[in-house]
Amino acid sequence: MHPSAAVLPLLFMTAAFAGEHAPARPIAELSHIHGVVLPAGSDDVLLATHHGLYSVDAEGMATMISATADDFMGFTTSTDGKLFASGHPASGGNTGVIGADHAGSGWILLSPGANGPVDFHAMTVSPSDPQTLYGSYGGIQASRNGGLTWSVAGPGPDDLIDLAAAADDPGHLYAGTITGLYESFDFGRSWAAATDIAMPVTALETAPDGTVWGFIPNLGLHRLNGSDLEMASPITDAVILHMAFDPDDPARMVAVTSDSEVLSSGNGGKTWSPLVP
């Protein structure tokens, strides 16, 4: 254990989320969106950006809910609703790994990560064990205690873009890369191709039913079935970088494109439209 891991949460209590202190702005004004989460029990959309974490309401108005305009590069949630992030403080440097109990609570510093402070650009939490987290920084890092301590499992596949933990076992992990979809069964130590498709996979997410979804530019959104990637939506006019499922309504999905356009689907990804028409 890192010698300071036990006391870090006590040393880095943030102020409460900015919430009512920040004026709302139209979602179209947001840029450099690095992640999306649909929190349980809410119709809002959480967007992690280069300049803070925002909550977007049904009218498309975005309110910054982080205490400061930090760069939220990595952003994910667990099945029990906790939020995890990494990136860069507004003051500079790397954040390490921070966590919040839910979208209305303050953030605490959980750990600097292995060889940190880390700057995870890709993060994921195991659906089968919310204590198992993964991040990419100097290789694949894993935590087995809710983000308090981390170790480097291995170098990971080359040209990694995104990570998604599988739903069947905490040690089962997928990686989207420039050359295709890869899979690990040992917490990220070793990897093998998960499919025969040697094309970039720019976004990965595990749905509430355990299905792994991935986006392939120029081909569209796909579902993983065994070793096959099956077409879910033939999106060819955008590149999806992040996506999220509503834990209360799996047919509701939200995706973020490379142009920071936010799209939504109410029919399980078959069709998409702008989040705010």
CA atoms within 13 A on the CB side of 120: 31
In angstroms, the CA 39 to CA 28 distance is: 21
Residue 46 burial (C-beta neighbours within 10 Å; 0-12, 13-18, 19+): buried
Kindly report whether the global pTM for this prediction surpasses the value 0.85: yes
In angstroms, the CA 205 to CA 249 distance is: 15
Q: Phi, psi (5° rounding) for residue 111?
A: -170, 155
Average pLDDT over residues 155-176: 97
- What tokens does 241 get? 């970088």
- Torsion 182-187-189-190 (CA) sign: negative
Which of these, 14, 204, 208, lies nearest to 99 by C-alpha position? 14
pLDDT tens, residue by residue, 180-199: 999 999 999 999 999 998 99
pLDDT tens, residue by residue, 206-240: 999 999 999 999 999 999 998 889 999 998 889 99
Give the rounded distance of the alpha carbon of 115 from its chain centre: 21
Q: What is the CA radius of gyration of the chain?
A: 17
pLDDT at 209: 94
pLDDT at residue 6 greater than cutoff 50: no
Whether the CB-CB separation of 148 and 190 falls below 8 Å is answered with no
Buried (b) or exposed (e) across 72-84, using 16+ Cβ within 10 A? bbbbbbbbebbbb
pLDDT tens, residue by residue, 53-104: 999 998 999 999 988 889 999 999 999 999 999 999 988 999 999 999 988 7
In angstroms, the CA 237 to CA 216 distance is: 12
Whether the CB-CB separation of 109 and 7 falls below 8 Å is answered with no
Residue with tokens 């420039």: 178
3-state class percentages of the chain: helix first, strand second, coil last, to nearest 5: 5, 45, 55
When pLDDT is cut at 50, 70 and 90, the band that residue 18 belongs to is: very low
pLDDT tens, residue by residue, 246-262: 999 989 999 999 999 99
Map out the domains of the chain with their CATH numbers: 31-274 (2.130.10.10)
